[in-house]
Each structure stands twice: as C-alpha cells, then as structure tokens.
Structure 1
C-alpha cells in the first residue's frame, strides 16, 4: 500500500466555497468542518490532483509518458474502487482567534469602465497562514510501486493553487511531502474470550458521504442517515475480496448483517467482564413517540443574550425530549407535543437513554464542460451528505463461531493492506474503528402489555401479502400465519407507520434489483389478542429471525413491547444553558456587564423626576446612532445645564458621559446600549 503524508501551506487567502450565503455578511461562505474550522473537500482536492497528474503526463516524453499515462488510467477509473483515498484536516496549531476574512469584488462595465450595477459580491475566505495536513493512500498491486509513488508525489507538489478567484490573488498554496512513515493500523481487541458467532462492527466516516437510497429527485440527491445492511455486505465483499479472497465464503448464506445505525462519540462496545462484551441497543425513534415542544423545553433562558452565546445541555437525553408514547398512552394530550422527525434511540443500560441524530450538511455541485472548463448550463444540483466523523454501529452474526474468528482476522488483513472500506456515492473511505467478539446486545426495557403486544420495526420490513404483492401494513391474518396462531387470533388496534421504496444493486451479478416496497423503520403496530401461553416464545423467535424477506441483509428486524416511558416520561427537566467558552461570547458577556454598570450609575442620578433623565438618555442615543461627533453631544449637554428648567436633568449625566465617552472611547458600544435600555425602562408601579 502506498501511504503519502503531505502538508498544505496557504500563501494567500483561500476560498473553497460551499455555495451558501449568509444574509448581510457574505454571498458565498467557505467550507467548514463540524467544529466551524476551515476545511478542504477531499473531492475538490482529488479533482485538482487528477488535473495536476494529467498536466505531468502532457509534459512527459518517450517511455516516461507511456508509463505515466498508464498510471493515470489506473488511478482514476470510473469504478472508483481503485482510486486513491485522500483525507485533508486543518492543523489546529495554525489557527487563531479569527481565521476568516471577507473579500468584496465588483465587475467592471466595459463601456463606462466603472463598477457594473448590482455586481458587488462578498466572499468568505480562510486567512493566509492556515495549514492543512493530508494523507493519500492507495492499494497498489503494481510491481513498480516506487515509480507510482514518485508520480503521485510529483503531482501533489505540482498543485500551486486551490479554490476560486485565483485571478484576483486568492488561493496560492505550497505543498510539501512529509517524511515517510508507516500508516497507523487500528488495534483490534478480541472482545469476549468465548466467541459466540456475533461480531460488533463500529465504523467511522473519513469524508463527507452520501448514501443514496434512491436516484436523483429533480436536482437534489438525498442521503440515508444509516448504512444499510446491503451496503455493508457489498463493501465487505469488495474489501475482503481484494485483501484475502480465500475468505469470501464467510459473507455467504451463513452470515447475517444488520443495518449500521449512527451512535454518539461516547458510545462504544462495553466490557462487563472478560467473557461478557455487549453492545448498546440502537433503534430508530418509534413513530408513536412524541417530543416536547421547544417552548416547553427552553425555559428560564436569558432573553437579553443572543443564542450563539450559549450552548444547550440535555438535548441528547431521551428524558428531556420525550413527551409521551401514543402506542401505550392514550390519556396524555399530545397537542403540546410534536413528532421527533427521525433520529435514533441508544440504550446503554442502567436507564441510560440517549437520543442521537447524525450530523449532515448540504453541498452545491455543478457539472463542468470538459471543452470550455466552465460550468454547464442548468447543471447546478444539491446533495445531502453525512458529515465526516460520524460513527455507525451494528452486529454481524455467523452460524459458526469459528467463522466469526476468521472474519475478524480477515478484517485485520483489510486494515493492513487496504486501510479503508468504501461506501456511498464516489466510494468514500470508511475507517474500521472497532471489530470484536460480543456475547450479546443490551436488552432494552420491556413493558407488560395486557391483552396483546406492541411490535416496533427496528429496520425496514419487506413482506408480501396473500396475493404476493408488497404489503403496506402488517395484516393480522398474515401475522397469525407467521406465528402459527389460529386464524383470527390477532386484531390490529393501532398503527403508526409509513412505507418507502427500496432501491438496490446486486453487486455479484452486476445488475439492479427490482424496487421493493417496504414498511419503514420506526413503524409501530399494536395488536390485541387473548395472549396464548406460547405467544412470548413465538415472539422471541420472531425477534431473533426477523420478519419478511432479505433478513440476512438487515431487513425485517423487530422488537416487541419496547418501553420508552420507563424512567423517561413525566420528567420536568428543562434544557439549561451555559456560556459558550469562546472569545466572542466572552466579549459579549463583558459588554453587557459594563452596560449594566453604566445603567446603575444613571439610576443613581439624584433628581425629582427620573423621566426627564430618561428623555435626555434617549436623545443622546439617537445622536450616537446618527454618528454625531461626541464633542457636539457634550456641547449640547453643557448647554442644557445652563438652563434652570433642564439643569437638574443634564448636570447628572455630564460626568457619566465624560467617563465613558470622553477621551477613552472603548466603552462607546456599552454606553450606547445603556442609554437605550435605561431610556426605555418603565417605572415599577
């Protein structure tokens, strides 16, 4: 495997645009990561590398030209599976308090040679001096890997510009190749001392990734918020086939894969003892669950501070968000609640419930005309992406525990030889963060539902009706037959469900599968029955084996009598806010402290009527808003003290004015805020 580390140093301000404006600030913002730090899209950088290598091929001569063109075709095939993986991260040591700068430009009218009307444009740029560290990895099967490595290094060093507005002096960069080093390999823990045939797989996205569940809708690409079992099987087969093809039989009929669902950074495989390793229980939020409204959660928040000064606490706790569960609670009024609109519940045991949604972003993209190198007309499209760093957890089950041992060893070879798995549009790299034997999953709390049971779909369910068509709901008669119950035993009392179309591609055969209609994950069905004695045993088997078709690909997983209300309902916790520890928030806090201090001094002015002082304060505030010189304002105050009718109002304000708006005017903004607030303050009756 070829592993190249490099460093990008910005010599001028850099603009890699995200295509989204911020009203009143700029027309095109810079790409940022989840923490708001500068970022460079790996897609953008890979495109520049491709262009750079093509330029080198054009400059080469003789046998070298033939060799380099062969390398170029090998690196950038349309399959994408054999293209280099590139990750670029900002060096936080080169960041300062202010890392962005706004540049403004205009277009020149050819006739008048002045700025064209309506052409003013502002863009957000990364300040020069910020550095980025990058890694390029490539699974090379070529005997001349040293020559290929040299070709890639020359291509990297040939890149001297990044981003847009290069003709206006932006985007100049320098790329240095760092000393060779062995690529870091994830350390796999063995997990449970007694393999049970169950393997926990935890993956981390190394780039923004779009996992398409369907084709393009208009000019917009949607992304799934999880990694489907079909995609998991596909990427494992490709990786294992490339690293150790003798182990491909592991991913056949004796292997059952779950959907990989997103989990927070703090969630991982849990070690209870040497023999007992467990994974948290993760499932979609049931459609019957209702969330508390924002107005109910966000109480006692200071209204005189902007929202960006504070950070919420408790929004990842189910007890903070959950209002009621309509599948088992008919009495609670849900008019004061709303839908969760997606998301996942993570149960870590001991009443530790978490709510999690994977972070996403929106990208604007367009097609480039290869002849003119300009944007094609009507080619703009938008694309949802899961942000880099999102983690996904699931379980892979094998019929034989020995196969589970072989599978972990095969993934160790994948991590050593190939480094990454690949998933989504463009085959984005995915890191194996954890792979180990587990003994079981943490079992979530169950409720005792008298006179029936509640069935929640943990994954999409593909099931056919009596006419072999795809069912849009769970027919009680069909479920009677599946569970082996007498006809008419079950009665559907409530239903909270939806459906979606499943699109898939058969990687082994190389053809698209026919679309299938499925009952969406999170759907809830409440059945009534007389509770036969063997019903719990039959429902347990249904949970274990799944419901409907393609259960080995993650479809058809269900849970019975999930109890969300245990230790969650009826809580009165309120989202609390603490000051955000940032320089901007600290400046804002100091500004308002000084404002409150000035108001106290204005309130201390001794006069018979405070209304007159407030009128003078409002007049001063209006003058400051108009930009009148402070010397003129002071002259107006002195003139007011010379009149007997207004002297008592003006003479107390003069020393406060001189203190905060005299020679040292660093408190000008605080003084202005104090004048406005005190002038509009109503007297208590």
Structure 2
C-alpha cells in the first residue's frame, strides 16, 4: 500500500459542516471527513480533466481512499507531533470519566476504560467521588510518554444579526450563530491506494490541479473546506508522497505506525475501535447499529477463532448526510455506527500460538476497514489502540 500524507493548517477560519444542534446554531466538527476532503481535492482539479476516466477512477471508485483529516496540536506541540510521528486517536465510547470534570490534562480528572473494567459504569471519580459518565464527545488524543494527551481544537463563536434598513428590525431567518475552527489550527490526514494508482494520482495532480510544486515529492495547495467556503478561510495543505521503502521504518503510515500498529494483549482480548463512522448493512440491506465478529472477520483466516465478550459493547449511531456538489442536491442520509464505538472480542489460544500470522491478519483487517464508502474515509478501525492496552485502571 502506498500513500500520500497531507499536513494542513487553517488560514482565516473554517466551519466544518455538521448538522445544526439547534435551529439557528451550527457547531463545527473537529475533523474533516474523507468525503469532504475528496470534494475539496476534486474542486482544484482542472475543469478540462473533470469527468475523464482518471478523474472517475480517483474520485468515484475505490482506486484512491481519502482517509480524512484529523486534528493535531497547534504551534510547537504540533511540530513535535509530526516529528515524532504520533497518531491522532479518536476517544473511545468505552471511556468513563467524572460527571463534573471529565478529561485528560488541564486539571481533568481522567478516565477509566470500560472495555477492560466491567465495573466502570458504577464507579465514582477517585478525585471528587462524583459518579462517572460515558464519554460521548468527538475528542481526540495522542500518546505522550506512554500516557494519553488530549488534542483540543480551538474554536470561535460568531453571531450574525441582520436588520431591515427601513424598519431597523431583524430580518426573517437572519439571526444565527456558528462556531468556526480558529486560524492556525492544524490537521493531519492521508490518501492511500496501490503504488500504481498513487503514482498516477500524483502525476495527474501535478498536471491537472491548481497546485504549486515544492519538489518532486511535495506539493502545496489551498483547499476550500466547509460551509460558506467562498466567504471564509481555507486550508493550506502540504502533500507528501511517501517513498515505498519508508514503510519499513513504520513511522509514517496511518495504519501501521508504531502507535497505531495492532498488538496482541496477554489476555487474548481484541478491542476494536472505530476511528471513523462505519456504514454497514446486513443481508437484507438494513443498516446495522452494532457490530459482531462476523462483520470484521468474515473473510479472514481468524473467522472461527474470535468470539464476542458479552456486555462489553459500547456503540452509538449517527446519521451520515451531506451535499452533492455535482447534483446540487442533499445526499441520501445513511445510518452508521458512530466513531469511537468499541467492541470487545476474545482471540482463542490456537490463533495466539501463531502470533506472527495473527498479527499479519489483524494488520490486513485494520488496513482495509469495514463497511461501505471506504473510499470516503468511512469504516476505519483500530485494533487494540493504546487506550486499550492497560489493565483497566484510572488514566492518566
């Protein structure tokens, strides 16, 4: 698998599209979906080449997978993040934190992992003895010195109030507010595909898109993202094509990095967490709201070697919608299993006896993902990520 790494910085401010939480307020999302990234890259393509065979294979088929852009720390912390090849992990729904002061860092009371501790839901905070609540936000973290550190996306709130000049009264539907991602915030993401298709995409990107070349393996481009993209800021992106032999270092690949690489636990538990929402249907084309071993391992050699742990599923649903720039119409909403959903399985001892083979299978499963629209970044999974490698004790 070959890939292109994208480092992005917000210039101005952007509103990453999301469903209004109330009628006249829009809350910007913390990450940029693969679908939105795909549309932004297609938007800088030359109109003369839009719709040809290469364009369709890149943007409408599964030749290139747009993994999306995830938040990373800003400023010098962001530079250290990239230098040390950290990975931005989605916070799992199995995390339980203090009802009044959940969170890591800045005085937060921390979390306990319900996937490893069956008593987490009934415990109290060790700092203030308040009851615990399940983490349901879309925050991210990365590992620093063996401990999870939160990634905070800084935002600003804007209020718009329009008035009629003649009456000095508010216009109809002219009072609303929104949050936007602040200037200087940074994101990290990837495009993946076979070496042949990535090379072809890179060549066409240099020839057909509105980009500037830094060198043979590095391109700069400005992408318009989110709502009212013509009136607000943009993303200044640096795209780097990673050489094939760089995979051996296991430092830059989004799914095989040292932090995100699947690892086997001593208790043979497999804890699978959704990094992005997963759109999965059953045989009757009904959307699934939770996932079982067959949904992950149906085509794997581990199919008959994984069993579900009862009572250790932490899942939620979300609705995936959006706007089709081609048809100028809303996209059909789809029910998906939400990002952060966590599923606990057990790997039997026969598979663990062949640890190397089991790990290779887990890497393939993690790299491929699950469900529909994987080329738009949906269905990305992580197997035994760092949050789930402890013993179920209080973190950090």
- Report the TM range for the smaller structure's normalisation: 0.7 to 0.9
Q: Tell me the residue number matched to 2:285.
A: 468
Verify the 8 A CA contact 1:204 1:392 in the aligned structure 2.
yes
CA distance in 2, matches of 1:407, 1:334: 56
- Could you say which structure has the larger radius of gyration? 1
Quick one: higher RCO (CA 8 Å, sep 6+), 1 or 2? 2
Q: CA 1:371/1:474 → structure 2, altered by over 3 Å: closer, same or farther? A: farther
CA distance in 1, matches of 2:64, 2:205: 13
Verify the 8 A CA contact 2:13 2:234 in the aligned structure 1.
no
2:7 is the counterpart of 1:202: yes
What 5-or-longer segments of structure 2 have no aligned partner? 126-131, 214-218, 247-251, 352-356
CA distance in 2, matches of 1:285, 1:375: 41
TM-score between the two structures when normalised by the length of structure 2 = 0.75
Q: CA 1:457/1:418 → structure 2, altered by over 3 Å: closer, same or farther? A: closer
Structure (1/2) with the larger strand percentage:
2
CA distance in 1, matches of 2:170, 2:331: 34
Q: Tell me the residue number matched to 2:129.
A: none
2:379 to 551, 556, 566: 556
Q: Tell me the residue number matched to 2:124.
A: 335
Verify the 8 A CA contact 2:20 2:26 in the aligned structure 1.
yes
Q: Tell me the residue number matched to 1:585.
A: none
TM-superposition CA deviations, 1:483-525 (whole Å, max 9, x none)? 3656795324211111110002233444432111111111101
TM-superposition CA deviations, 1:346-395 (whole Å, max 9, x none)? 246x6364311211233222445587675214642232322222211111
> What does residue range 27-426 of structure 1 map to in structure 2 within 5 Å?
197-214=2-19, 217-241=22-46, 248=55, 251-252=58-59, 253=61, 254-265=63-74, 266-268=77-79, 279-291=85-97, 315=105, 322-330=110-118, 334-336=123-125, 337-340=132-135, 341-347=137-143, 351=146, 353-369=148-164, 375-377=170-172, 379-399=174-194, 400=196, 401-403=198-200, 405-406=202-203, 409=206, 413-415=210-212, 420-426=222-228
TM-superposition CA deviations, 1:84-133 (whole Å, max 9, x none)? xxxxxxxxxxxxxxxxxxxxxxxxxxxxxxxxxxxxxxxxxxxxxxxxxx
Give 1:342 shift: 3.2
Give 1:261 shift: 0.9
TM-superposition CA deviations, 1:617-663 (whole Å, max 9, x none)? xxxxxxxxxxxxxxxxxxxxxxxxxxxxxxxxxxxxxxxxxxxxxxx
Give 1:426 shift: 0.7
2:338 is the counterpart of 1:520: yes
Verify the 8 A CA contact 1:210 1:385 in the aligned structure 2.
yes
CA distance in 1, matches of 2:158, 2:82: 39
Q: What is the alpha-carbon root mean square deviation over aligned residues?
A: 3.8
Q: CA 1:238/1:532 → structure 2, altered by over 3 Å: closer, same or farther? A: farther
TM-score between the two structures when normalised by the length of structure 1 = 0.45
Aligned residue pairs total 354
Q: CA 1:511/1:419 → structure 2, altered by over 3 Å: closer, same or farther? A: same
CA distance in 2, matches of 1:230, 1:561: 26
CA distance in 2, matches of 1:280, 1:197: 19
Structure (1/2) with the larger helix percentage:
1
